């Protein structure tokens, strides 16, 4: 019997994760590459994807003819219907038709969507939110992403721009966010926000393990885990503050949507999710209506680093 494989990608600003799925949705081959290594990302990001997919086919030993489809999650505003990247913060794309060149090269369908939307879709189809109809997803990483499933369908809003609730303003006088606004959830609760807090405290002469580990404005999630294990005071404060604002944002989303479930994913949750979830659960009741809160579950994502890969798979499976 001929095999049929799907190739799924998680394209980040710094790295690309790839997986080949067999018919049973098992990952039979993985690849991890720095975005910079996989081709000149400034000129030609499609070449990056082509290089990565070609390498995966070659290294895994599957035949090109056995590939059913390719799918990817990438940062930015992406027209999922037409495979056009409208805007991407970390990648040099504007109104860029990425689908056509990939389909031409490999002769199979290519799907692409916003990475966090795709990650929430993964959790909805195969992970923590399986069996629920209305899902709010917060993905806590370098930045803060959101994804929304309403009535069993990914909600993308006008021009695929919905669910940017990392930029929900929680304090107009708060810290500056990379989006230009002040006091966004991202500026408090993502690694960018926590790192800024650590540096601010360091400038006041306070010591933290994390201070020396901040590169390009962020620490590595693994280091945060280590700092918390060693009861690093500044790290603990940064986390308390992050969880406080996540609880406020969660309460707002609970009141707005009345979801069945709120799911927390992303690199930070992967590293220290239990600590975060515990703190959010302690506080969230203050910020939403009790009658709505009683019908909502709060859970960590189940697929970890693979949420986006599984979400890409679910775009193929439809």
| Topology, domain 131-301 | Nucleotidyltransferase; domain 5 (3.30.420)
pLDDT block averages, 10 residues each, the chain of length 318: 88 87 96 69 69 94 95 92 85 84 95 95 97 98 95 95 95 95 97 97 97 92 96 98 98 98 96 96 98 98 95 95
Report the relative pairing of strands 67-74 and 5-11 from DSSP bridges: parallel
SS3 27: strand
- Taking CA atoms, 230 is separated from 136, 233, 262, 276, in Å, by 32, 9, 30, 16
**What confidence score (pLDDT) does residue 263 get?**
98
95: tokens are: 């109104």
Annotated domain spans of the chain: 5-119+307-317, 131-301
- Decide whether 5-119+307-317 matches 131-301 in CATH topology: yes
Beta carbons within 8 Å of 263's beta carbon, 6+ residues apart: 120, 123, 127, 128, 129, 135, 136, 137, 138, 299, 300, 301
Q: How far is Cα of residue 105 from the mean position of the Cα atoms in its chain? A: 28
**What confidence score (pLDDT) does residue 209 get?**
96
What is 5-119+307-317's CATH number, 3.40.50.1110, 3.40.50.10490, 1.10.760.10, 3.30.420.40? 3.30.420.40
Tell me the H-state helices in 158-232: 185-189, 191-203, 221-229
**What confidence score (pLDDT) does residue 15 get?**
81
**What confidence score (pLDDT) does residue 34 get?**
80
**What confidence score (pLDDT) does residue 48 get?**
81
**Cα separation of the two ends of the chain:** 24
């Amino acid at each position: 019997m001929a095999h049929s494989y799907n190739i799924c990608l998680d394209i980040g600003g710094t790295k690309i994760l790839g997986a080949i799925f067999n018919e049973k949705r098992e990952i039979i081959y993985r690849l991890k590459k720095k975005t910079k290594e996989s081709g000149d990302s400034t000129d030609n990001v499609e070449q990056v994807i082509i290089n990565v997919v070609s390498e995966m086919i070659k290294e895994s030993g599957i035949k090109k003819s056995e590939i059913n489809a390719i799918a990817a999650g990438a940062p930015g505003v992406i027209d999922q219907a037409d495979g056009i990247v409208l805007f991407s913060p970390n990648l040099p794309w504007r109104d860029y038709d990425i689908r056509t060149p990939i389909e031409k090269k490999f002769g199979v369908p290519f799907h692409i969507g916003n990475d966090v939307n795709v990650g929430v879709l993964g959790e909805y189809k195969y992970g923590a939110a399986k069996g629920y109809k209305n899902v709010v997803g917060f993905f806590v990483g370098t930045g803060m992403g959101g994804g929304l499933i309403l009535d069993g369908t990914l909600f993308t809003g006008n021009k695929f721009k919905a669910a940017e609730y990392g930029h929900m303003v929680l304090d107009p006088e708060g810290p500056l966010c990379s989006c230009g606004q002040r006091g966004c959830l991202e500026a408090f609760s993502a690694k960018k926000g926590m790192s800024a807090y650590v540096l601010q405290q360091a400038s006041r002469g306070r010591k933290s393990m994390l201070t020396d580990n901040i590169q390009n404005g962020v620490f590595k999630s693994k280091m945060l885990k280590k700092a918390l294990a060693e009861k690093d005071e500044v790290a603990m404060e940064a986390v308390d503050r992050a969880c406080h604002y996540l609880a406020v944002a969660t309460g707002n989303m609970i009141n707005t949507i009345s979801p069945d479930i709120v799911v927390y994913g992303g690199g930070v949750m992967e590293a220290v999710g239990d600590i975060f979830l515990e703190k959010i659960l302690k506080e969230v009741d203050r910020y939403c209506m009790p009658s709505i809160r009683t019908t909502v579950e709060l859970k960590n994502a189940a697929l970890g680093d693979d949420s986006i890969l599984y979400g890409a798979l679910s775009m193929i499976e439809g």
